[in-house]
Structure 1
Amino acid sequence: MTSTLPTVALIGTCDTKFDELLYVHDKLVQEHGVQCKLIDVGRTPYSHPSISFSHAEIFGNSRIPPPPDLLALPRGELISTVIKHTIPLVRSLYTSRAIHAAISLGGSGGSSLGAEVMRAALPLGFPKLIVSTMAAGDVRPYVGESDLAMMHSVVDIAGLNDILMPVLDNAAGAIAGMARAQHARLLREAPPSPSTGLPTSAPGNRRIAITMFGVTTPAVTHARAILSAYPCTTYVFHCSGAGGRALERLAASGFWAGILDLTTTELADALLGGVLSAGDTRLTAAAKARIPQVVSLGALDMCNFGPRSTVPGKYEQRNLFEHNPSMTLMRTSPSDCLTLGKQVAERLKDADPSITEIWIPRRGVSALSVQGAPFCDPDADEALFSAVREGLRGTKIPVVEDDRDINDPEFVEQMVQRLVGMLNILKR
């Protein structure tokens, strides 16, 4: 049962940033009328009536043996240890509906601590905000595949002043508003699923993930239109690296009923050092979780870099296409495609063949590789297709080769119908 008032978890190191944490605490309680649970994650214990969860409570209730001498740990090891002990507490507050939003303040260490706790303990859709000195740079290590928001503190969180206080005022107002929205949502919704921590879907409604890139948008748009006739909800993931990681994470938790993995381009970025890599676990979770999946090779004809000047020198002689001033695409070579095809086969070979298929669009894996387009390269395509075909030979995983391109409506319709058949769902 959710608490009467919206409640915010405030995570911070009270031994180094107590004045700033107390400032936010009091703003939340006195000006915004929400409750606040201050969680002390500092190196040394700190005592104050406003602290809801002390050092001793965090380490005493985590059910994980505490280190013999916390004070002696190196900084990196200390942060990892505190994270490990804080996650169970924050997860428990979430699952018991005792909190409705979370906020943290910190520099590089505090931001890392707050971000890892929030990503591990709180699901997508739950409000998460970090006020950080690191928010003006590369925030990927903190945000990852989550929906965590970051606000730049401008000055260090080391003393209240006329620059920091308005930032903290805004942060308190923002998280209070998000907490109210979450509180109202919980009053309308069923309790979260015990396995995923996310809201349960409507009875009879299936969740289907679809992967998309700009050059496969027509395919995904058509797939969504077809699936709208069925009792399902579609979730489209942009293959930006974070999109693929989010899809895999949710697949590992069993969130999906099925996956239409039309676009596997992130594998190329992982292989060639592009900017949109989803890491080495892309295309693995569904097979392990035994989730029905129909997979294709969308946009494996390209690797993504930033502006033209950022393309590594070793690729200067490759086929490059300036998609826009901020994004340069590199055509994958026959050698690249041979490796990518082997990777696809390797990651699918242990999947359940009764609920797994891979579809090969022989006339082009993206809008840029069809006949006459900048990335049309039959030799590279054949290297990709043959590697998939040979890698799955003898596995019983169906490999369907179709003489159309990936955005062809009939190709898309047949892929969707195969997934619908695996899920055994009928039109509304």
Structure 2
Amino acid sequence: MTTGPTIAVLATMDTKSEEARFLTERITREGGKALVVDIGLGGESYDFASITAAEVAAVVGRDVGRLRGGPRDEAMASMGQGAATYLRRWYDAGMLDGVIAVGGNQGTAIASIAMRELPFGPAKLIVSTVASGNVRSYVMDSDIAMQFSVADLLGGPNVITTSILDRCAAGIVAMGRASRRERAMAPGDVVAVTAFGNTEKAVVRAIEEIRANGLHTVPFHASGACGSAMERLVEDRRINAVLDLTVHEVLGELHPDDIYAPVRPGRLTAAGRAGVPQVVVPGGLEYLCFGGVATIPPRYRGRPTHVHNPYNTNVRTTAAELEAVGALIAERLNAATGPVAVLIPLLGWSHVGSPGGVLHDPQANDALVRTLRARLRDDIPLRCYDLAINDEEFAVTAAHTLLDMMARSPETLHSA
């Protein structure tokens, strides 16, 4: 008989023990097994906790009593890393299918630190009082789901939170079952393709071409979190090759006020370290991304600007900015241990940066081309085409450049 999924329950037990007990009971009722981890700083013990707060602290060499009296951020980081150690240990041993946490600001922060250390796949859900706000700092590039608790999580479940917690317990058990099925599936060969709305036409056509050759494709929106997630998946050997049509996030590393700056530094590094084939195109480098027009920092105003929508404004990059990002791209690609090629569509790197677009500026773009030509390793091809990125011919050429590289590097296949 197949047993139900095993779900870790994370809670600051000094303030959320009743909610944790409720979740444990409901998970069991739904056919799952609960492992309760106390991530709080209180000194009490709880008979239904699988791992105590003292054990969480001790596994990373800390004492929970000393953490209680020390800096709050240090204590939260230590408890998060301690909980992560147990979660990863259980997951690697095949003993964990999902994680659910319940908490306020502190509990959410600790739980998210722990969950982010797990790979993509096991179910991750946080029921939180802060889930209705900007949760990017908690989720970052992980596959964490967040549920707003609506009412505060104090004094045990009430007429509002009981319903929410009940549904979340049922949900995490179902998600855990799905995670277990997914883990048992044999992966195929996977190609990552990076995208923007302004490069979508090229991305869609390239994906068609790659899929026609029997490979899986996964598009990643170059929104900061997605690109960082792609890098993690390459590190985890779940992606075999990268068609980096949209590298805007590298620009964001040099301009952190760009709303699509990566949540973790290091774009264009994972594929190189892993030695998997990568084709790099300067998609989305013609502009910086900000929110509404009023949010554009003063130093970027007065340049050609495209209002993508009321919440996304694109501001033209200068030749000097492109020289700087070109140097960074060359530095990272030069460190690659696998095959690399750089393709440049000379007529434009996005819809709005191509002929007729408000951000079309081939003279400024040439600064990037000159920098790459001067700085790239001699064995890294730099190929220029009198095409725009969204031209079908360019998209097909980019796809087949990667496919040819993969065919010449068979050791990169079936390794995910």
Q: Name the TM-score, length of structure 2 as normaliser.
A: 0.91
Q: In structure 1, which of residues 137, 141, 164 is the aligned counterpart of residue 137 of structure 2?
A: 141
Name stretches of at least 5 consecutive residues in structure 1 with no aligned partner: 191-199
Query: Is residue 57–residue 78 contact of structure 2 (8 Å, CA) maintained in 1?
Result: no
Partner of 2:311: 326
Contact 2:67 2:74 in 1 (8 A): no
Deviation at 1:55, TM superposition (A): 3.4
Counterpart Cα distance in 1 of 2:179 and 2:340 = 37
- Alignment-mate amino acid for residue 256 of structure 1: I
The question of 1:282 aligning with 2:267 is answered yes
Measure, in 1, the Cα distance between the counterparts of 2:2 and 2:139: 28
* 1:20 and 2:5 correspond: no
SS state of the match for residue 404, structure 1?
Answer: coil
Query: What is the aligned counterpart of 1:412 among 391, 395, 402?
Result: 395
Q: How does 1:66-105 map to 2 (within 5 A)?
A: 66-67=62-63, 69-105=66-102
User: In 2, Cα distance between the equivalents of 1:46 and 1:29?
Assistant: 24
CA distance in 1, matches of 2:236, 2:352: 34
> By how many angstroms is 1:5 displaced?
1.7
Determine which of 136, 142, 149 is the counterpart of 1:153: 149
Q: Secondary structure at the match of 1:52?
A: coil
What's the counterpart of residue 123 of structure 1? 119
Q: 1:314 to 1:242 in 2, by over 3 A?
A: same
2:225 paired with 1:225: no
**Which residue number in structure 2 is paired with residue 194 of structure 1?**
none
Consecutive aligned runs of 4 or more in structure 1 exceeding 6 Å deviation? none
Q: CA deviation at 1:245?
A: 0.5
Q: Distance in 1 between matches of 2:211 and 2:253?
A: 33
Specify the alignment match of 1:315 in structure 2: 300
Local SS of the residue matching 2:50:
strand
Q: 3-state DSSP class of the match of 1:51?
A: coil
Secondary structure of the corresponding residue to residue 383 of structure 1: helix
- Per-residue CA deviation, residues 123-157 of structure 1 (Å, 9 max, x unaligned), is 21321100112111110011111110111123332
1:195 corresponds to: none
Question: Where do 1:154-173 residues align within 5 Å?
Answer: 154-160=150-156, 161-173=158-170
- Which residue of 86, 103, 109 corresponds with 1:106? 103
* Contact map agreement 2:353 2:361 (CA 8 A) in 1: yes
Please give the per-residue CA displacement for 1:67-123, whole angstroms capped at 9, x wherever unaligned.
Answer: 484443322211122222222211122223323221001122211111111110x22
> Which residue is 2:413 aligned to?
none
Corresponding residue number in structure 1 for 2:287: 302
Aligned residue-pair number: 405
Report the equivalent of 2:198.
215
Q: State the alpha-carbon separation in 2 of the partners of residues 72 and 401 from structure 1.
A: 60
Map 1:169-188 → 2, pairs under 5 A: 169-185=166-182
Whichever residue aligns with residue 336 of structure 1, its letter is E
Structure 1 range deviating more: 272-281 or 258-267: 272-281
**TM superposition shift of 1:181:** 2.9
1:380 pairs with 2:364: yes
Unaligned runs of 5+ in 2: 411-416
Question: CA shift at 1:57, angstroms?
Answer: 4.5
Name the SS of the counterpart of 2:151 in structure 1.
Answer: coil
Cα RMSD (Å): 2.2
Q: Which residue of 2 aligns with 1:422?
A: 405
Contact 1:270 1:276 in 2 (8 A): no
Q: Report the equivalent of 1:241.
A: 224
Matched, 1:50 2:48: yes
Q: Cα distance 1:269–1:55, how it changes in 2: closer, same or farther (>3 A)? A: closer
